[in-house]
A and B are shown apart, each in its own frame.
Chain A
């Protein structure tokens, strides 16, 4: 279905990306929790959400979605529009509530999910080794997700397949959000070799007392404010584990946490 069809079915107005309404979407994902979008959303989906914040748009981009529809008449008041334009996403706003919006989208039977994008090109022969570092500021929700966006963009330019880029993007974003929510500051190190992409995230903060417990799905120490951002449902670390080929976590209470992630190309 074209995004234009969704726009019409939902009587939605266009916030960004009027020129890209011919984009085809294959699935719909309805949620206000961004970790769920990252965990369960399929590529080429459209996100229906009531979270009117840039984190919704960044999550959609990380998960390789085509667009976002804000329901219940919501419109983001932050820099979402510019982010969407920079990253080729369509943003729509509908006054319908989530249930009516879901009903109005007449979708053919959901198909078994094979990511056709995964089938094509790998890294270009002779890809150069790339090494970059980025700084994350704890508590800075306005900037949260921009490091992951840059990482995704760099990997895409090199020419890695979209499925792999998506996995790295999701893990980096979850890691970045953890630093923003729980630490004072953090550093992301990206190292790209032809056969493996490594992402390290080191933070200075309160640390994790029990890493085993933190890895359990649903375990969370997030505050109400963080949940209002669509995060903190206890999906972050499990999401990273499921999307990476190797994950090592070390943490010391009152010092900080280090994540080492590897992705085989």
Chain B
């Protein structure tokens, strides 16, 4: 599954500029330290955190994309920073728990 496949299948809106890449597994956390500890390369990272500190974390862990749930407004500086480092930021109005069943239906497993 590629990042761009998810846009249509799950109804995610792209916010940053990014290169398409493969997505494997999902990791959910709103705590950056947990993401650094637990997420794996290629994971889809679901969070409601929109502070720009999510970008360096995503970059370090090498997640495939960050998905901002619950319709959170993402600050422009976060989006700009993500574009600069080629990190995909996608957004959905669904709450995290509700998005999970859609991702599972697409065949995405845990990490």
Contact = CB atoms under 8 A, between A and B. Distances in A.
B97 A99 contact: no
Interface in B23-40: 25-34, 38
B72 A218 contact: yes
Contact of A31 (B48, B75, B98): B48
A28 B99 CA distance: 12
Contacts, number: 81
Interface string A251-264: 00000000000000
A30 B33 contact: no
Interface in A42-94: 48, 50-51, 72
A50 B97 contact: no
Given A50-B34, A218-B75, A97 B98 contact: no
Contact of A102 (B29, B53, B70, B96): B96
A37 B90 CA distance: 22
Interface string A205-224: 00000000000011010001
B51 to A, nearest CB: 7
A103 B101 CA distance: 7
Contact of B48 (A48, A99, A233): A233
Nearest to A49: B30
B38 A36 contact: no
Contacts of B100: 30, 99, 102-103
Q: Which of A29, A32, A218, A230 has the most CB of B within 10 A?
A: A32
A158 B7 CA distance: 51
Given A30-B100, A233-B48, A233-B50, 16 more contacts: A29-B95, A30-B28, A30-B96, A30-B97, A32-B29, A33-B30, A97-B27, A97-B28, A97-B38, A97-B111, A98-B27, A99-B103, A99-B111, A218-B50, A227-B51, A230-B31
Interface of A: 28-33, 36, 40, 48, 50-51, 72, 97-100, 102-103, 110, 217-218, 220, 224, 227-228, 230, 233
Interface of B: 25-34, 38, 46, 48-51, 53, 70, 72-73, 75, 95-98, 100-101, 103-104, 110-111
10 contacts: A28-B97, A30-B96, A97-B28, A99-B27, A99-B100, A99-B110, A102-B96, A102-B97, A103-B100, A233-B48
